């Protein structure tokens, strides 16, 4: 399976959000619920200043590409600052959380 996705290709997909992750909204670009892929979830997320994603885990691996701002990544209790230009790989079922430090991520 090979396909190309971008924000324009998912323009009809509603932005998702939840009270569990205040100040965060996202769209899936690659996810088994939308395209039959397996083992990886990739989306486009916007994290407002002060927004955060609580510690959680899920079976598909995930990749973060930081396009703006600075945040604190919680890697199952170990904290690391991430910034514009960083790419983060999160293995399936690895606990992770994220909080902005200033601007949108």
Any domain includes 8: no
Any domain includes 1: no
Range of the domain at 69: 13-100
Query: At 96, which CATH number?
Result: 2.60.120.10
Any domain includes 28: yes
Please state the domain count of the chain: 1
Any domain includes 96: yes
Q: From the CB of residue 92, how many other CB atoms can be counted at a distance below 10 Å? A: 13
Tell me the pLDDT of the chain averaged across its residues.
91
Q: What is the pLDDT of residues 32-62, one digit of tens each?
A: 888 888 888 888 999 999 899 999 999 999 9
Any domain includes 105: no
């Amino acid at each position: 399976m090979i396909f190309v996705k971008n924000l324009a290709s998912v323009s009809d997909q509603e932005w998702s959000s939840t009270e569990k992750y205040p100040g965060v909204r996202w769209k899936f670009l690659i996810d088994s619920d939308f395209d039959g892929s397996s083992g990886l979830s990739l989306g486009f997320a916007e994290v407002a200043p002060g927004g955060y994603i609580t510690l959680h885990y899920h079976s598909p691996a995930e990749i973060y590409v930081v396009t703006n701002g600075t945040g604190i990544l919680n890697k199952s209790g170990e904290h690391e600052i991430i910034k514009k230009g960083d790419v983060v790989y999160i293995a399936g079922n690895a606990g992770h959380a994220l909080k902005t430090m200033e601007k949108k991520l």
